[in-house]
């Protein structure tokens, strides 16, 4: 039987209650990690944790608003006090549709608070623990919007560009502490967010618009959360021990083949 890739490791996954975060939590737990699921939604976080525990795997859930630094520090310190934090996946984030003229100050503040400050808060809280224990691994969830221009994604692109820049900075600053930091940049991934967006924006036309959005990917379909989880698993495992300061698009060929 092949050894589990994350056996004996502890992973913290923000936004772990649904979508990509849920897929990450289930995949990491199945590969031997003790998974701590952080989410603003208590119900979804607890549901994912229960599902993992039902498989005789290790998981816990915690309500955490990544925009509140004191709360993030308290949660991370509590987890570290029980052992280690080997892996941090900064997955919590929100989307926004609009160009600069249709993006209000409140929209921009919300995107910055969650997508940028939230990642910073988690890094700020976890990096000292990784330094103290002699190393660790961070994966930040960026987006193809961080490297190519997308229509009507002004604030979202801004926030994900910042995530990518923070990735490079942390990777450079903490090499000597054996902390690896990489980014994953998905294109469209079929998550509950996508289904909710379609039902709100195109009632009665969900299937038509889903097919239309899928066809914008060169491979003709959206990605699946499990595919992102598979990539993150590799990056957080010892198989990726020589990889840091890199961005990994998972985009069905969008960046290179859609121009």
- Here the tokens at position 17 are 């209650």
Checking DSSP bridges between strand 247-250 and strand 136-141, what pairing results, if any? unpaired
Torsion of CA 153, 156, 157, 161, to 10 degrees: 180
Catalytic pick from 120, 156, 168, 177? 156
Strands of the 247-250 sheet, one edge to the other: 59-63, 34-39, 10-14, 87-90, 136-141, 179-186, 247-250
What DSSP letter does each residue of 76-112 carry, written as one string?
HHHHHHTS---EEEE-------B-TTT--HHHHHHHI
- Here the tokens at position 26 are 């289930």
Residue 156 appears among annotated catalytic residues: yes
- Here the tokens at position 52 are 């993992």
Query: Which sequence positions are flagged as catalytic?
Result: 156
């Amino acid at each position: 039987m092949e050894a589990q890739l994350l056996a004996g490791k502890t992973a913290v996954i923000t936004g772990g209650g649904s979508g990509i975060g849920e897929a990450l939590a289930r995949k990491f737990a199945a590969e031997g990690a003790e998974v701590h699921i952080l989410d603003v939604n208590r119900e979804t976080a607890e549901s994912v944790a229960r599902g993992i525990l039902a498989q005789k795997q290790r998981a816990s859930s915690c309500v955490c608003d990544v925009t509140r630094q004191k709360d993030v520090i308290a949660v991370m310190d509590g987890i570290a006090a029980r052992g280690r934090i080997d892996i941090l996946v900064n997955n919590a984030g929100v989307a926004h549709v609009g160009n600069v003229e249709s993006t209000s100050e409140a929209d921009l503040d919300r995107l910055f608070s969650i997508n940028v400050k939230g990642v910073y808060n988690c890094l700020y809280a976890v990096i000292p623990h990784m330094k103290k224990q002699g190393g660790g691994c961070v994966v930040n969830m960026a987006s193809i919007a961080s490297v190519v221009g997308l229509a009507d994604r002004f604030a979202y692109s801004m926030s994900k560009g910042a995530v990518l820049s923070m990735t490079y900075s942390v990777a450079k600053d903490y090499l000597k502490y054996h902390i690896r930091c990489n980014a994953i940049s998905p294109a469209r991934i079929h998550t509950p967010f996508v289904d909710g967006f379609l039902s709100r924006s195109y009632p009665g036309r969900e299937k038509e618009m889903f097919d239309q959005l899928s066809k914008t990917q060169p491979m003709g379909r959206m990605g699946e959360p499990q595919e992102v989880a598979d990539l993150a698993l590799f990056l957080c495992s010892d198989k990726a021990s020589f990889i840091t300061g890199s961005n990994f698009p998972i985009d069905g060929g969008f960046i290179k083949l859609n121009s």
